Structure 1
């Protein structure tokens, strides 16, 4: 049976953040994810998880100055120390929340940047991060994000590049975070991609296209893909990282029984 996690940065935004845990549990979710926990005390979030019998599935490493437009640090030469500090901060929260997965945002491509320098910085940062996380039982995720609509200038913006980075990093606890919405925009051919790379996938996220709304609102045939994932034996979580067209509860009619 497929396992769906509510992304609390996208769902139940009708409520203050700390109240979304209860809303997710009441809606039948047993797992949650979100972008960042760092504006809240780890003890407060851990209490909300325990109170609502929820598992923390995933969150992102600090991404630099998000409000100023930064979208990660991992590929940025000269900011390796900052990346290391962000990893330590994320691990503090991951251990408090018993979270087994962390996603490292790659960052935006700097102007006049040397591609080899960006790639080497990314590989070295993630190799060191993977070695640090492995004894803690934490999987490090990398996600190709479309740079055409959602993150213009994002460096890790294709599946082939992400697969090449996985090969170069060469660590068993580094996996793909595959968002089918981004993948549809970048490449399409979702079923074949899942079939080909199911062994490299550590986490899946969903939204429909266009609009990044709930499944069933656009062109992606999610009932077929859900059946395929079951046939492939996928036993990981599926994060619901979509923007409801209206009320969150009204957007949940797509869920399989």
Structure 2
């Protein structure tokens, strides 16, 4: 089965200004793109860039705060910003709809120092359930992602099992898992078993190779068996390339040709 890879334009083709990355991704053979934040641009402008390059928008994130702020890793678990969170979800759904994106990643957030984990998690569950209700009237599905404790200490979701439990508790067809193999390898390992355990809930996959977060084949993950397991499972979704190229984007894409089938 053929695997489909999309380019994350926050991480790839940074040799170019953002607006030029769409054509660069298309020229490199990508047919889909994702990126965290479309919000500095008008949706109509981004849609023109997508259409002109012959690309599909796969995923965007909900809005996040600037580095160093309380909301730097998302808002969904922070009790004091619920109104801001809801505005962000509505804005994200508006952009995702305008861009034709399949997915909106609802970024969970870091638990504030003065908030208990129980309160933060209760806030998170309530907020995700609210977002799922808003998504019902759109064609957009929501994604939940676990991030590793090394890069995002204090992140609300601590394991793939916990993220899956949230999806099952919400009980909505509008919500599923984003499994990032980079984060999963750092915190949990056992990637094939993890994928097999949660594959029925996984709507999107992202890849990077730890420890340096470069392209597959530069680090510790044995990608051949892992991609074979994904393909054998019948996974028909996109696989987002969310890594920092080691030595230039185009120069480092040989791995994708090797593992596409």
1:210-225 to 2 correspondence within 5 Å? 210-225=211-226
1:1-257 to 2 correspondence within 5 Å? 1-66=2-67, 68=69, 70-148=72-150, 150-255=151-256, 256-257=259-260
Aligned residue for 1:213, secondary structure, equals coil
How many residue pairs get aligned? The number is 256
CA distance in 1, matches of 2:191, 2:19: 34
CA distance in 1, matches of 2:120, 2:139: 28
- 1:23 to partner: Cα distance: 0.3
Greater mean deviation of Cα atoms: 205-214 or 88-97: 88-97
CA distance in 2, matches of 1:75, 1:218: 32
TM-score, normalization by structure 1:
0.96
CA distance in 2, matches of 1:102, 1:2: 21
- 1:225 to partner: Cα distance: 1.2
Unaligned runs of 5+ in 2: none
- 1:66 to partner: Cα distance: 4.2
CA distance in 2, matches of 1:36, 1:147: 22
> 1:118-164 deviations in whole A, cap 9, x for unaligned?
1111111111111111221211000000022x122222232222122
> 1:35-57 deviations in whole A, cap 9, x for unaligned?
11011111110000000110000
- 1:67 to partner: Cα distance: 5.8
CA distance in 2, matches of 1:97, 1:177: 20
- 1:16 to partner: Cα distance: 0.2
Runs of 4+ in 1 over 4 A off after TM superposition: none
CA distance in 2, matches of 1:116, 1:67: 24
- 1:26 to partner: Cα distance: 0.2
